Amino acid sequence: MADKILVTGATGETGKYTVAELLKRGKAVRALVHKIDDRSDKLKRAGAEIVVGDMLEHDDLIRATEGMDAAYFCYPVRPGLIQATAYLADAARRAKLELVVNMSQISAREDSDSHAARDHWISERILDWSGVPSTHLRPTFFSQWFLYPHAQASIINEGVIDLPYGEGRHAPIAAEDQARFIAHVLEEPARHAGQIYSLYGPTELSQAEIAKEIGDAIGITVNYRPTTIAEYKSRLESQGLPPFLIQHFCAIAIDYQNGIFAGADKIIASETGRAPLSVKAFVDLHRAEFKVAAR
């Protein structure tokens, strides 16, 4: 059983919840953060050891993994994943980690049109080739997407989800539920090493059904309005998103239309004893962030 655990990307969506879950389970948690700010201060107050570092700096990862039993590795959607993975794998071997839980994505595959998704597939292989015991997680779209600025503004101000997802379906998965599963896996390294787990919410829904679920939860009418890839790309560019991220979002929109993101939970409920949050339950939990008063 791993008792001293490194969490990279510790102020991110899954990272902050994983830190909290591990601390709740009595683990010693080292949180790797890019800078000291309010988010890192909150983790420190909760009981985590804070280490400032860059995942693209080999020495920083060697320092972060030293003395740890296991690690959760999560790199943002930006260039550099393959380099960061190689550095992490080497550091993990030096530290003799019992397990690295690697955050990949459901669209990761060797022939993906998304540069980011293909990088995730290569990242998985680097960890496999390194000999470091690893578990790869491939989640579908996060429920947290509903809270991102454009999505929330569109939902609240216009009553619309406007995405180029056609008639595709998925079961949104909350970062909180992923964190529960990550902590569960880290507690039993030997049992989960070598596994690839696809992570989903409890119920597969179309975008129209997701729109209705959100609308019913916050007391407004929300509809799904499909857009084209070209319209979506233009909007992302107007928002100033990096080209790497725009290329990824457009490529996986096609994956979504083709069913790559489809599926419902088969592992979180059985492994942790609690089903992941439904769309309604997620919205209820984050109601204040939607800036909509309870009915």
CATH number, domain of 95, equals: 3.40.50.720
Bridge partners, 5 (sequence order): 29, 70
Residue 255 within a domain: no
The range of the structural domain enclosing residue 25 comes to 4-139+173-199+262-275
Task: Measure CA of the first residue to CA of the last residue in the chain; give whole Å.
Answer: 45
Q: Please list the helix, strand and coil fractions of the chain in percent, rounded to the nearest 5, in that order.
A: 50, 15, 35
**Is there a domain that residue 286 lies in?**
no
Q: Please count the structural domains in the chain.
A: 1
Which pLDDT score, from 0 to 100, does residue 153 have? Answer: 80
In a domain, 53, yes or no: yes
Residue 181, judged by CB atoms within 10 A of its CB (0-12, 13-18, 19+), counts as buried
In a domain, 269, yes or no: yes
Q: Is 271 exposed, middle or buried (0-12, 13-18, 19+ CB in 10 A)?
A: middle
What pLDDT is recorded for position 290? 76
pLDDT at residue 260 greater than cutoff 50: yes
Of 154-158, 213-217, 256-260, 273-277, the range with the lowest mean pLDDT is 154-158
pLDDT per residue as tens digits for the range 143-195: 999 998 878 888 888 899 999 999 999 999 999 999 999 999 999 999 999 99
pLDDT digits (tens, 9 = 90+) for 29-61: 999 999 999 999 999 999 999 999 999 999 999
What is d(CA 114, CA 118) in angstroms, rounded to the nearest whole number? Answer: 6
Percent of the chain with pLDDT over 90: 91
Q: Residue 292 — pLDDT band, cuts 50, 70, 90?
A: low
Give the whole-angstrom CA distance, residue 163 versus residue 172: 15
Task: Please report whether residue 204 resides in a domain.
Answer: no
Integer Cα distance of 125 and 201 in angstroms: 26
Helix, coil or strand: residue 138: strand
Q: Is residue 61 part of a domain?
A: yes
- Dihedral Cα 164, 166, 169, 173, nearest 10 deg: 10
Phi, psi of 100 (to 5 degrees): -115, 120
In a domain, 105, yes or no: yes
Indicate whether 66 belongs to any domain. Answer: yes
Give Cα separations from 48 to 67, 68, 185 (angstroms): 15, 13, 19
